[in-house]
Amino acid sequence: MSSENVLKFLSEPTTLASLAAVAAASMMYVTSRPTPLKCPVDPNEQSVEVPGEGRARRTALSEELIEHFYDNVNTLYEGFMRGVQLAGDKPCLGWRKDYDQEYQWLTYNEVDERALCFGSGLLELGVEAGPETFIGIYSQNKVEWVLAEQGCNRFSMVIIPLYDTLGPDACAFIINQARIKITVCDASKVETLLKNVDKCEDLKYIIKIGDSVTEEEQERAKEHGVEIVTFNDIEERGRKAKKEPV
């Protein structure tokens, strides 16, 4: 394009208007853009080597060891209860049955209540509160996973996740190694667990996440001295015999 054509193009009203708009937008961005955040530490020295062997390092943000953020939060249980205090009636756990459906929610208060009932229900099965009690959980992420976890936290019991990615033999090994008496089990995993229940020496209860237990499932479990109950049943038992958190 010749210089004459360029000048003609630039003199067009639409071109001038476009250039003016670009200039105005650029000026607005320059004058209104947020102030860049200043890094609180030297980007090249974000950690400091701790004297001694091993070349351990600590954050440069604080010279003192930060043991906790809040004075009343030192455990997972206390962390959740802080959430209950701050946002009791706010959404906590959400789920949906299908991708085209709206999420349904449990509030912090509702999760707190159900977790207390579930934990109390576990004690009704005969296990003791305390870190010496291990509860297995054989399930994908879902509402009941968190309820079981929080229920155990209330009574200082320990959740032991069972992963079937290594095969059913690995699950049986974990159950035996941790001497797990109770396992919370997704409905889709019950069949796998029943096929290997004869290898699980200490297992006494399977808590099925679902509405009901089939007669066949119950009979197969009884053959090996194991009882299957539903998650809802454990909650109901605990609701009738609530215990104080330990």
What gap in Å lies between CA 209 and CA 144, rounded to an integer?
Answer: 7
Provide mean pLDDT across the span 104-116.
98
pLDDT of residue 16: 57
Query: Hey, which bits of 40-196 come out as E strands?
Result: 47-49, 57-59, 91-95, 104-107, 134-138, 158-161, 182-186
Q: For tokens 């291990």, what's the residue?
A: 134
Strands 47-49 and 57-59: antiparallel
Give the single-character DSSP code of 94: E
Domain locations along the chain: 1-66, 104-240
**140-173 tens-digit pLDDT:** 999 999 999 999 999 999 999 998 777 888 999 9
Provide mean pLDDT across the span 98-114.
96
Provide mean pLDDT across the span 79-93.
97
Q: Is the pLDDT of residue 9 over 60?
A: no
Report, in angstroms and rounded to the nearest whole number, the Rg of the chain calculated over CA atoms.
29
**181-216 tens-digit pLDDT:** 999 999 999 999 999 999 999 999 999 998 899 999
Using alpha carbons, list the distances in angstroms from residue 131 to 12, 23, 124, 155, 196.
80, 67, 17, 8, 26
Contact between residue 152 and residue 119 where contact means Cβ atoms under 8 Å apart? yes
Which tops the pLDDT comparison, 47 or 12? 47
- pTM, whole model, 2 decimals? 0.76
Q: Which architecture does CATH list for 104-240? A: 3-Layer(aba) Sandwich (3.40)
- Local confidence band at 61 (pLDDT 50, 70, 90 cut-offs): confident
Q: Is the pLDDT of residue 97 over 90?
A: no
Query: Hey, which bits of the chain come out as E strands?
Result: 47-49, 57-59, 91-95, 104-107, 134-138, 158-161, 182-186, 205-209, 227-230
**Which range scores top for mean pLDDT: 57-66, 111-120, 155-164?**
111-120
What gap in Å lies between CA 147 and CA 113, rounded to an integer?
Answer: 10
- Local confidence band at 12 (pLDDT 50, 70, 90 cut-offs): low
Provide mean pLDDT across the span 125-150.
96
* 222 membership: H or E segment, kind and range: helix 215-222
Which tops the pLDDT comparison, 134 or 211? 134
Q: Report the Cα 172 to chain-centroid distance in Å.
A: 24
Q: Is the pLDDT of residue 8 over 70?
A: no
